[in-house]
Copies of this chain bind each other. A is one copy, B any other.
Amino acid sequence: MGEARAPHVVVVGGGFAGLAAARALDGSRAVVTLIDRRNHHVFQPLLYQVATAALSPADISAPIRAVLRKQDNCQVVMAEVLAVDLQAKQIHVDGGHISYDYLVLAAGATHSYFGHDAWTKIAPGLKSLEDATEMRRRILLAFESAEYEGSDAARRAALTFAVVGGGPTGVELAGAIMEIAGQTIPRDFKHIDTRTTRVILFEGADRLLPPFPPDLSERAKRDLESMGVEVRLNAQVTDITTEGLSIGDEFLPVRNIFWAAGVKASELGRSLGVPLDRAGRVIVGPDLSVPGRPEVFIAGDMAAAKSADTGAAVPGVAQGGLQMGAYAGRIIRAEIDSANGVAREPFIYRDKGTMAVIGKAKAVAQIGSWHFTGFFGWFLWGAVHILFLIGFRNRLQVIFSWFWTWLINARDARLITGAAKIRIEVPRTHHFADRAHRSNSEN
């Protein structure tokens, strides 16, 4: 057996699922190739904190090579996978193809605008570090441009933010934008009062955080409203333009719109030629394999999977990805090590809880039948996220940044990078000069 060719396991995607799959094969006889088009793993649950200037991109990410450095049987390839050929057992990348004995597809998900492609540029979503710095740019530029708007109406529109989608990302974004406007920057601006900023959170269902228990949904809504966020439930966004957004017949002039509503699975699933669900996810068997292809597993946000015990769909959260990836890795490992093949136990999802942060000392968390809110929920949320963050230095950095934010409401990553053009209305500058003069002579 020592002379047999080592089985080649290809893992596509360096997110939670892909990394878990690769790690489950550490020390096995397999040769593992992990492919990602990025060089870094991103800790997605904290992406909104980069978008809202509390953390830097490097704080929540780690080079995939560094994460897998000590795993001798694993190589990392930075490349984009273009298609999968199930028949030939090959994946296609720019430059050629790579053969596999086992394949774990974990290429994740992207935003879905439900067919409204024109909304993409107006209302960006939050999936990558680039998305996060773009969102940060827009949030900070909104205040900069409001400072010099000539008309009250334009100023109000510039100071109005709409977040579409009341899941965890939407709730966290809305809360964080309100904190920036209300606590972090008011003293930075001399002409506008950023505390007049409106943040409106739109959710199509009849409550926020639909996967949470109803009492936590209600608490999240109350907490957000106490911070000044307007929560609109049963609100289907029907149109988005550069001028604002429509809810049926109602039009709201809004300059800043962020998308936290729909996701769809990576396009890679389509190249398999197997049945997909409405969100483009691959409908997998109880062992997460593609029907008729026991050597191909789908894990993470690309998989439409059910937990074998309850029959419930596995949720698109970090825990889902981690558990699916580790499961696929373990199955492959068992089969490689066994000469006669093994029976595959079906995948069971262990719900370790769900949590969402709303603001300073405000969060909702559910762990089993326990519900946590307020300061304790918030503390728990922080502790769990720190624990799961990859890299000891990242953990220290994030703890430090959070402590700082907590202490003095600072958000020190307030960088507008990339092109930014602001047209300023000059009369306001003079108005300031007049005002400053008046206040000087009053002293």
Residues of A participating in the B interface, judged by any CB pair closer than 8 Å: 2-3, 5-6, 8, 29, 31, 33, 37-40, 56-59, 61-63, 65-66, 69, 72-73, 75-80, 93-99, 129-130, 133, 140, 144, 147-148, 185, 187-191, 391, 393-394, 396-397, 400, 404, 410, 412-418, 420-426, 429-430, 432-433, 436-437, 439-441
User: Which of B94, B410, B425, B441 touches A422 (beta carbons < 8 Å)?
Assistant: B94
Report Cα–Cα, A72/B190, bound state, in Å: 9
**A415 touching B58 in the complex, CB below 8 Å, given contacts A188-B66, A404-B393, A424-B77:** yes
A-B contacts besides A31-B432, A99-B430, A391-B412, 16 pairs, CB < 8 Å: A5-B437, A6-B436, A29-B440, A39-B144, A39-B414, A40-B416, A56-B413, A58-B412, A58-B415, A76-B188, A77-B147, A77-B148, A78-B416, A80-B421, A94-B423, A397-B400
8 A-B pairs (CB sep. < 8 Å):
A5-B433, A6-B440, A63-B415, A65-B185, A72-B436, A73-B440, A94-B422, A400-B400
Taking a contact as CB atoms under 8 Å apart, the answer to whether B33 and A429 are in contact is yes
Question: Chain B residues with Cβ under 8 A from A188's Cβ?
Answer: 63, 65-66, 69, 76
User: Which of B129, B394, B413, B436 touches A73 (beta carbons < 8 Å)?
Assistant: B436
Taking a contact as CB atoms under 8 Å apart, the answer to whether A130 and B66 are in contact is no
Question: Chain B residues with Cβ under 8 A from A56's Cβ?
Answer: 56-59, 413
Taking a contact as CB atoms under 8 Å apart, the answer to whether B426 and A96 are in contact is yes
Report Cα–Cα, A62/B31, bound state, in Å: 46
Chain copies in the assembled complex: 2
Report Cα–Cα, A75/B426, bound state, in Å: 13
Taking a contact as CB atoms under 8 Å apart, the answer to whether B144 and A437 are in contact is no
Taking a contact as CB atoms under 8 Å apart, the answer to whether A66 and B414 are in contact is yes
Taking a contact as CB atoms under 8 Å apart, the answer to whether A69 and B400 are in contact is no
User: Which of B185, B397, B437 touches A397 (beta carbons < 8 Å)?
Assistant: B397
Taking a contact as CB atoms under 8 Å apart, the answer to whether B433 and A31 are in contact is yes
Taking a contact as CB atoms under 8 Å apart, the answer to whether B98 and A426 are in contact is yes
User: Which of B148, B415, B441 touches A40 (beta carbons < 8 Å)?
Assistant: B415
Report Cα–Cα, A404/B96, bound state, in Å: 40
Report Cα–Cα, A387/B422, bound state, in Å: 33
**A75 touching B190 in the complex, CB below 8 Å, given contacts A31-B433, A400-B396, A412-B393:** yes
Taking a contact as CB atoms under 8 Å apart, the answer to whether B58 and A94 are in contact is no
Leading 9 A-B pairs by shortest Cβ distance: A96-B426, A65-B188, A58-B413, A6-B437, A56-B56, A95-B423, A2-B441, A39-B416, A31-B436
Report Cα–Cα, A306/B187, bound state, in Å: 39
Taking a contact as CB atoms under 8 Å apart, the answer to whether B39 and A140 are in contact is yes
Question: Chain B residues with Cβ under 8 A from A190's Cβ?
Answer: 75
Which residue on B lies nearest to A61, using beta carbons?
Answer: B415
Question: Chain B residues with Cβ under 8 A from A57's Cβ?
Answer: 56, 415, 417
